[in-house]
């Protein structure tokens, strides 16, 4: 007899694929045997298959490589010397796509979508459903030792973090895709859902959709489905239409019963954060309160989790903002006043960055760096522009307040540069904190533009502004000030190379020559 683990490793297939073969009658259901308990841990169970099961899987794989449909494979192998005696489970997934009828409303689930259409070939031979992991009830749960498969997705279903158990169960030894747009977990969930009973299929997606739906429009969800088959796309859209938004958007728990006896009943715990949704698969016999108690310290928990986020090649917008004449301001104010000023600036601007989904990055001195990533319900590029305008307006209020309070004539300016691109995003970790770090030219250009800006101006690259929609561009004012017979005039909707804006007599401009050919425009408040 072969254990299911040995069979999966020997055949090089996923657990979901194995369950499919069982469901259609090509393999028998495993013989479940209880394992002796290890001291301090709960007893476990293992499934055992006959020795010929490995050869049978090899036959199936060879026939599939030769283009034989699953229906023909079933007919051919059913007559061999070791026919499968177990009939397909009535709770198994739909048959191969070659014989799958058109999607129709389920007669048994009136309020939900029809059964999930199943393709003849899985999305990945390495993806598997999350397996239950037995652990002692006394384990202290933290981000570093969540004893169950767990991963975090953003609000577009893209993977941004996973633990070792989820890595093993979902991706095996396959590398995680580099680009954010290639990290959708929808194909993995579809493959697993195909092995679930009909009434459980929608529950799996509801566990993910529920906390996300409030920020993910139907149109945006449809656009994120990629190149799925029409039947699968329609099934997912039906899931979206029928999925209720949970009453508790911070903590959402959905119960599932997996057909594999090694997995069995589990609770899909969805925990919502500003940065995304954490999904944890907790076996029913385990105490979910351990996990919830850990997450109750939300700020420290999400910091620890995001410090381990996967490096990713992602589109983003960058804002670099520098406080003009910060050295002079520091020298002219008593230390307590200077620190009070800087703290007021940060505490006042922080809610603005949060409003526009800006993520803090490391910056030396008195300036700041924020990153803006794609969002399902708004344009991240427009977020950056609107945020910059709001920062400028707020700084004018702070400047006026301090001029009145101190009776001085030094206005406060935050000089801002904006740029966009596709760059590597990662984290630098210390023992107590972490920093988001972006590698590449985008942030360098942005930093130079903040050096170019003076007296609270906002300079943005042509690339950023031109990627806004026509409607979005109509909501902002941008252009370049030029010489004219009547003096300096502002020419709307125009750009200029940085070189034409530099002065040969200004020593600050020497370091801007490396972006001399970059086309930029000044962003002004809307009239």
238-254 tens-digit pLDDT: 989 988 888 777 888 88
Q: Which phi-psi region, left, alpha or beta, contains residue 132 (left: φ > 0; alpha: ψ -120 to 50)?
A: beta
3-state secondary structure of 519: strand
Cα Rg of the chain, angstroms? 29
Angle of the 298-306 helix axis to the 288-295 helix axis, nearest 10: 90
pLDDT of residue 283: 85
**Angle at CA of residue 375, ends 371 and 380, nearest 5°:** 50
**How many Cβ atoms from other residues are within 10 Å of residue 364's Cβ?**
6
CA distance 303 to 143: 10
Please enumerate in sequence order all residues whose Cβ is within 8 A of that of 220, keeping only pairs 6 or more positions apart, or say none. Answer: 156, 376, 377
Return the pLDDT at 120: 35
pTM: predicted TM-score of the whole model, two decimal places: 0.67
- Cα distance between residue 406 and residue 139, in whole Å: 56
**Per-residue pLDDT at 104:** 29
**Predicted local distance difference test score (pLDDT) of residue 90:** 36
The CA-based angle 337-338-343, given to 5 degrees, is: 100
Predicted confidence at residue 16, as pLDDT, reads 63
Instruction: Report how far Cα 75 is from the mean position of its chain's Cα atoms.
Output: 43
CB atoms under 10 Å from CB of 288, counted, come to 17
pLDDT at 491: 92
pLDDT at 96: 39
Cβ neighbours of 173 (radius 10 Å):
7
- Whose structure tokens read 């979902």? 170
Task: Give the pLDDT means over successive 10-residue stretches in the chain (527 positions).
Answer: 81 73 78 59 66 87 77 70 39 36 33 62 40 45 82 90 83 78 86 78 86 86 84 90 81 75 77 89 83 81 84 94 90 88 91 93 76 91 96 94 83 95 86 78 92 94 96 94 85 93 77 90 87
According to the model, what pLDDT value does residue 263 have?
60
In Å, the largest CA–CA distance within the chain is 97
């Amino acid at each position: 007899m072969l254990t299911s683990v040995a069979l999966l490793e020997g055949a090089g297939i996923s657990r979901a694929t194995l369950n499919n073969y069982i469901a259609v009658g090509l393999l028998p259901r495993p013989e479940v045997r209880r394992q002796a308990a290890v001291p301090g841990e709960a007893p476990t169970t293992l499934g055992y298959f006959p020795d010929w099961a490995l050869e049978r899987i090899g036959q199936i794989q060879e026939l599939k490589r030769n283009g034989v449909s699953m229906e023909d494979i079933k007919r051919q192998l059913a007559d061999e010397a070791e026919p499968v005696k177990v009939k397909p489970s009535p709770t198994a997934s739909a048959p191969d796509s070659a014989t799958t009828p058109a999607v129709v409303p389920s007669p048994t689930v009136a309020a939900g979508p029809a059964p999930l259409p199943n393709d003849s070939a899985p999305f990945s031979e390495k993806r598997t459903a999350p397996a239950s992991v037995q652990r002692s009830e006394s384990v202290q749960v933290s981000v570093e030792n969540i004893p169950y498969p767990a991963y975090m997705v953003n609000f577009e279903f893209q993977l941004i973090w996973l633990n070792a158990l989820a890595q093993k169960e979902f991706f095996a030894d396959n590398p995680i895709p580099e680009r954010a747009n290639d990290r959708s977990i929808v194909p993995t969930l579809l493959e697993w859902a195909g092995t679930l009973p009909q009434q459980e299929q929608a529950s799996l997606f509801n566990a993910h959709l529920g906390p996300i739906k409030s920020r993910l429009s139907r149109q945006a969800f449809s656009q994120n489905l990629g190149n799925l088959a029409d039947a699968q796309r329609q099934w997912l859209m039906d899931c979206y239409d029928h999925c209720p938004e949970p009453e508790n958007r911070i903590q959402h728990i959905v119960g599932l019963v997996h057909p594999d006896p090694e997995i069995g009943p589990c609770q899909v715990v969805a925990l919502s954060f500003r940065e995304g949704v954490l999904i944890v698969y907790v076996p029913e016999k385990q105490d979910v309160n351990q996990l919830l108690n850990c997450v109750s310290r939300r700020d420290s928990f999400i910091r620890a989790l995001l410090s381990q986020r996967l490096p990713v090649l992602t589109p983003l917008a960058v804002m670099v903002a520098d406080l003009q004449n910060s050295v002079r301001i520091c020298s002219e104010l008593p230390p307590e006043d200077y620190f009070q000023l800087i703290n007021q600036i940060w505490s006042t601007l922080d809610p603005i960055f949060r409003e526009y989904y800006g993520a803090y990055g490391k910056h030396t001195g008195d300036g700041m760096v924020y990153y803006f990533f794609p969002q399902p319900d708004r344009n991240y590029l427009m977020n950056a522009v609107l945020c910059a305008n709001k920062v400028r307006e707020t700084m004018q209020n702070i400047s006026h307040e301090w001029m009145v309070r101190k009776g001085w004539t030094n206005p406060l300016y935050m000089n801002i540069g904006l740029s966009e691109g596709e760059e590597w995003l990662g984290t630098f970790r210390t023992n107590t904190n972490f920093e988001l770090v972006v590698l590449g030219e985008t942030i360098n250009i942005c930093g130079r533009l903040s050096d170019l800006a003076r007296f609270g101006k906002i300079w943005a690259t042509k690339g950023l502004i031109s990627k806004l929609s026509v409607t979005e561009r109509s909501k902002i004012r941008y252009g370049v000030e030029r010489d004219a017979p009547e003096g300096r005039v502002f020419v709307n909707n125009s750009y200029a190379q940085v070189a034409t804006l530099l002065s040969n007599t200004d020593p600050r401009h020497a370091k801007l020559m490396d972006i001399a050919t970059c086309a930029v425009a000044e962003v002004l408040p809307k009239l």
